Structure 1
C-alpha cells in the first residue's frame, strides 16, 4: 500500500492578475476533487498578500498525484499560466510522519 502524498503548491500572481489567477485556480478545485485518489484539494490565499495563493493537497498515492498533472483541466491552466503567474510554481512534496491524534 502506498503512503499518502501531501503537496503544498505556492503560486504568485503577476501584478494586476490577482483576480484572474484566483478565478483560474478556483476553477481547478471541483474537477480535481472528483479525481481518483484526491483526498484533499484546498485553495488558500495569504491573509496579508492577495497575490499569494497556496494549494494544500493530499493524494492517496504519488501515482495518483502524477496522473492529476496530466488532466485536461490542469494542462489547460498550465498552458495559460505564463500570463497569470509571476515566476514558477513552487511545489513541496511531503509524507506525514505522525498520525493525527
Structure 2
C-alpha cells in the first residue's frame, strides 16, 4: 500500500491583504476536508508574520491531491489569488519516513 502524500503549501499576502487572504484561505478548509482522499488540511499562520500562511495537508494519494486542485472552490480561489498573494504559492510534496506516534 503506498504511503500518504504530505503537502506543505506556503502563501504570502500582499501588503494590506493579510486579513483578506486569511479569510479566503480559511474558507477553503471545510470543503477541502470533504474531498475524497483528504486526511488532513490544516491552515497555519507564521507566529511573527501575520501575512505568511502555510497549509499542512495529508492526502491518501497524489491523484486525490491533484483532483482537489481542480475543484470549484480551489479554482475560484486561484482565479482571485493575484489580488491577494505576494508571489507564487510555494508547494513541497513529502513522503513521511518516520512517525513519532
Same fold (TM over 0.5): yes
TM-score (norm 1): 0.97
Please give the alpha-carbon distance, in whole angstroms, between the structure 2 residues aligned to 1:63 and 1:86.
28
Tell me the equivalent position of 1:36.
36
- Number of residue pairs the alignment of both structures matches: 101
Query: Is 2:78 the partner of 1:78?
Result: yes
Question: For residues 62 and 96 of structure 2, what CA distance do their matches in structure 1 show?
Answer: 13
Moved over 2 A (4+): none
Structure 1 unmatched runs, 5+: none
Length-normalised TM-score, structure 2: 0.97
1:13-24 to 2 correspondences below 5 Å: 13-24=13-24
C-alpha RMSD of the superposition: 0.8
Unaligned runs of 5+ in 2: none
Q: How is 1:1-101 mapped onto 2 (pairs within 5 angstroms)?
A: 1-101=1-101
* Structure 1 CA distance for aligned equivalents of residues 27 and 4 of structure 2: 24
